[in-house]
């Protein structure tokens, strides 16, 4: 019984392969070109050498990041210092009618002084500051999430944020609007500059998550019906500080 069943399976596989060959040959015939029977050669891996040497000066990095991030639907604002960034967030929070804010538990964000700038009724939650709180629930109900970006990439208009105990990924994924603060010295020219650092650190030193944010969340169905904010914040502010 076993040999008979194996023979039957072998016959079915052979028939499937014959049908596959006929289909591929038919496609090649319709394209009026010979069918390749071996994998194409790929002599190059990764970015070409000339691109590895590209490094734009800071003003150009900031300008290109702003252009690319804005083209993806994000909002970019250049601010001189943390005090100005705090004022800007407070103004936008008022426009958005925000009452619930969640922020990373990063000491740099204390300089925003949001407790003094936001209305008294506004609730501000620091990620993992209180072990008794359900952090994901706080992030899900938040009108605004605030993160400190680890890097930004000018050539792609991307914000790079890693996650660990004090920098929960939910802060950037669940609130309605996201404010990402980016010290200008963290803006790089190429994505490879950022990825090389993770590669050099080694697998044991990798963070819990590495997130690339290029504008607001977007999703489109097969008919290209674009919807904003389905899988993440629908409004994303990139604040270049410094």
Q: Is residue 47 part of a domain?
A: no
Range of the domain at 17: 1-41
Q: What per-residue confidence (pLDDT) applies to 1? A: 57
Residue 69 lies inside a defined structural domain of this protein = yes
What is the per-residue pLDDT for 229?
Answer: 67
Q: Tokens 């619930």 map to which residue?
A: 100
In this structure, the answer to whether residues 81 and 21 fall within a common structural domain is: no
Q: Is residue 188 part of a domain?
A: yes
Q: Mark whether 185 and 210 lie in a shared domain.
A: yes
Q: Which of 143, 145, 148, 173 is closest to 161 using CA atoms?
A: 148
pLDDT reported for residue 117: 94
Answer whether 188's CB lies under 8 Å from 194's CB.
Answer: yes
Tell me how many domains the chain contains: 2
63 and 20: one domain?
A: no
Question: Which residues, in sequence order, are CB contacts of 226 under 8 Å at separation 6+?
Answer: 218, 219, 220
Distance (Å, whole) CA 102 – CA 95: 17
Looking at the structure, tell me whether residues 181 and 139 fall in a common domain: yes
Residue 68 located in a structural domain = yes
The low-confidence residues of the chain, meaning pLDDT below 50, are none
Q: Which pLDDT value is given to residue 221?
A: 65
- Please tell me the distance from the alpha carbon of residue 84 to that of residue 74, in angstroms, as a whole number: 20
Q: Is residue 46 part of a domain?
A: no
Is the separation of the CB atoms in 240 and 84 below 8 Å?
A: no
CATH of the domain at 223: 3.40.50.10420
């Amino acid at each position: 019984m076993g040999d008979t069943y194996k023979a039957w399976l072998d016959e079915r596989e052979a028939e499937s392969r014959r049908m596959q060959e006929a289909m591929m040959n038919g496609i090649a015939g319709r394209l009026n070109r010979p069918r390749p029977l071996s994998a194409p050669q790929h002599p190059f891996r990764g970015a070409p050498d000339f691109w590895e040497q590209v490094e734009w000066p800071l003003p150009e990095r900031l300008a290109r990041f702003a252009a690319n991030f804005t083209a993806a639907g994000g909002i970019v604002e250049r601010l001189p210092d943390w005090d100005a960034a705090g004022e800007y967030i407070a103004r936008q929070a008022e426009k958005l009618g925000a009452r619930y804010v969640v922020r990373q538990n990063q000491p740099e964000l204390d300089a925003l002084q949001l407790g003094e700038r936001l209305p008294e009724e506004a609730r501000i939650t620091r990620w993992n500051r209180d072990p008794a709180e359900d952090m994901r629930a706080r992030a899900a109900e938040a009108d605004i999430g605030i993160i400190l970006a680890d890097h930004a990439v000018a050539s792609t208009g991307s914000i790079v944020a890693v996650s660990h105990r004090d920098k929960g990924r939910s802060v950037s994924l669940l609130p309605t609007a996201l404010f990402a603060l980016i010290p200008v010295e963290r803006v790089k020219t190429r994505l490879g500059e950022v990825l090389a650092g993770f590669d050099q650190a080694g697998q044991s030193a990798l963070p819990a998550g590495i997130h690339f944010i290029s504008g607001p969340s977007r999703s489109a169905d097969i008919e290209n019906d674009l919807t904003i904010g389905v899988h993440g914040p629908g409004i994303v502010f990139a604040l270049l500080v410094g």
